[in-house]
Amino acid sequence: MKSKYSHILTLLGALLAFVPIVAVDFLLDSYVRVREKINTEQYVQSVSSQIEIGVTDAINSMRRILAESPSLCTPTFIANVQREIESSLNMKQVLVENADGVQYCDAVGRTVAYSPLSTSLPIPGHTETITVVKLGEMAMPALKITQSFGETRRVSAFVPLVGQTEGSLAQALANAAMMRIQLTNGTSVLTVGDSAAFDRRDGTTEFVFAQGFAGELPLKVEYAIPFAMARASYTDLDISFTIIACIMSAAFLILSLNYVRRSRVPAFDLERAIARGEIKPYYQPVINLRTGELMGCEVLCRWEKKNGEVVPPGAFIDYAEITGLAIPMTLSLMQQVKFDLGDLSQMMPGLKISINLFEGHFRDGSIVEDVQAIYGNSKIAFRQLVFEITERHPLGNSQVAHSVIAGLHALGCKLALDDAGTGHSNLAYIGTLGCDIIKIDRVFVDMVKPGTTQVPVLDGLITMARDLDCEIVAEGVETEEQALYLRARGVIQAQGFIFAPALKVGPFRDLATALHASYEPRNGLQNVVASAA
């Protein structure tokens, strides 16, 4: 059965592939809100400006008439009124009357028919007042701007509320939208469209809404449209966004599936590979730098797939640790090692076999029982086993970890700290673990170049290991200069490509047998290098 983690990661990849499609509605809704808010504000500003311009024009015209006319209702006054009306785009009539509404004169010499629709309100910053009226047969409400002249006379100019008919205003509105003009005291002047839905709105219906004032005039303009209706007008954009999102999702899904297919982690079904015995042990020799003798080997793993492909451990070890598969994988390797090296271990009683353990092994004391069960009656003695602790992850439960280490020691096995100096260790950490061997990581060995006479970091690690009374094994030795440098500083054991890479069991047994048969202590390092070649 596939690992649940593989299923989870595959599911997450599939869900992420559909994020663009799911996000279309959210992104388009956000875009519509911003865009329609701008449109409503622009519409309100346009209507407000029309009202303000019309009233300002009427006030200025009326002031010019009064400034140029010595008295009211004279031929000069009438001529000035007619001139201003002809030159104005907004002003329709000028009327002189008293406080009781008795009319004295107007621009064309006839009675002006009008009826007030509101009370008179002052215009902030001006001496004039403003009143909403019904002017003659004009369908659009008009604004009456009045200026007192003396104590009894009133001069008024009439302008339409806006310079459009109500029908043209209605045609300009979006479907289900409404526009309303009100006095600041709440009196409704003009409503275009159905305002009932907006006035009865609750938390379940969203509206795009804007309002603005006509300059300093006591008039405000409101515009509202249900968000659902505004959103419906973006159908073409919705379809375009959806198509783009589908293309993006398909591309992401294809890339994700391709990555999963080509990736060397969960998609390779590590659990099934362990059960099928596809995880094979490879053996890297550990050589005595003084004598050239084979001291032992480190057990490394490779994934040998049925198609012949060999997957290196770096591609699946981290996944194995995270999922807990490192534990059954280690047990499988130990079983194979027992059969691979049993006879060789009896022929070479001093051979040390190093097997890597992971942080998970030190959270469960069963590893001690497993080692005892596998090697208790085998040809490999407990004293020939070395278990390496990796520094990549710190040991969490110290009590259980020390119990595991004590149990392995009690069997006669040794403990080695792998990759010393590159992970979570320090002097106190190493000292409390009770390690018998410290393996110096290749990163420090690589510091030895041709002509190098001193590497303080490497020398410090060597000194530290001696102070802790630990054996030392150098990893990643690839040049003769490195081997000679280490031997000169008392490092006896080393492994690396200068001797041999990790080998399958057959080549390793052949190499071990050849070294054992031809071992000549006096030949030293040159002997082992020549044999490995």
Task: Give pLDDT tens digits for 185-220.
Answer: 888 899 999 888 888 888 788 999 999 999 889 999
- Asked if residue 517 belongs to a domain, the reply is no
- Asked if residue 486 belongs to a domain, the reply is yes
Statement to judge: residues 369 and 496 lie in one domain: yes
Statement to judge: residues 465 and 327 lie in one domain: yes
- Asked if residue 439 belongs to a domain, the reply is yes
- Asked if residue 444 belongs to a domain, the reply is yes
Ranges of beta strands (E only) in 382-441 are 385-389, 414-420, 437-440
Please give the Cα distance from 47 to 161 (Å, whole number): 10
Task: Pick the closest to residue 419 from 389, 395, 462 (CA basis).
Answer: 389
Based on the number of CB atoms within 10 Å of its own CB, is 448 exposed (0-12), middle (13-18) or buried (19 or more)? buried
- Asked if residue 127 belongs to a domain, the reply is no
- The per-residue pLDDT for 29 is 86
End position of a domain, from candidates 215, 230, 245: 230
- Asked if residue 47 belongs to a domain, the reply is no
Quick: pLDDT tens for 29-82.
888 899 999 999 999 999 999 999 999 999 999 999 999 998 999 999 999 999
Statement to judge: residues 363 and 493 lie in one domain: yes
Statement to judge: residues 425 and 332 lie in one domain: yes
Structure tokens belonging to residue 516: 């054992």
pLDDT, mean of residues 91-118: 92
Statement to judge: residues 197 and 284 lie in one domain: no
Statement to judge: residues 402 and 462 lie in one domain: yes
Statement to judge: residues 432 and 339 lie in one domain: yes
Statement to judge: residues 504 and 365 lie in one domain: yes
- Asked if residue 37 belongs to a domain, the reply is no
Element of type H or E holding 203: none
Q: Indicate the number of domains in the chain.
A: 2
Residue 423 vs residue 224, higher pLDDT? 224
CATH number at residue 362: 3.20.20.450
Statement to judge: residues 336 and 218 lie in one domain: no
Residue 492 pLDDT > 70, yes or no? yes
Reported as a pLDDT band with limits 50, 70 and 90, residue 12 is low
- Asked if residue 466 belongs to a domain, the reply is yes
Give the predicted TM-score (pTM) of the model: 0.52
Domain that holds residue 397: 278-288+322-509
Statement to judge: residues 282 and 191 lie in one domain: no
**Adjacent-strand bridge partners of 529:** none
pLDDT, mean of residues 155-177: 88
Quick: pLDDT tens for 78-104.
999 999 999 988 899 999 999 888 999
- The per-residue pLDDT for 523 is 47
Statement to judge: residues 283 and 182 lie in one domain: no
Statement to judge: residues 391 and 489 lie in one domain: yes
Task: Pick the closest to residue 328 from 301, 305, 298, 296 (CA basis).
Answer: 301
Task: Pick the closest to residue 49 from 145, 162, 190 (CA basis).
Answer: 162
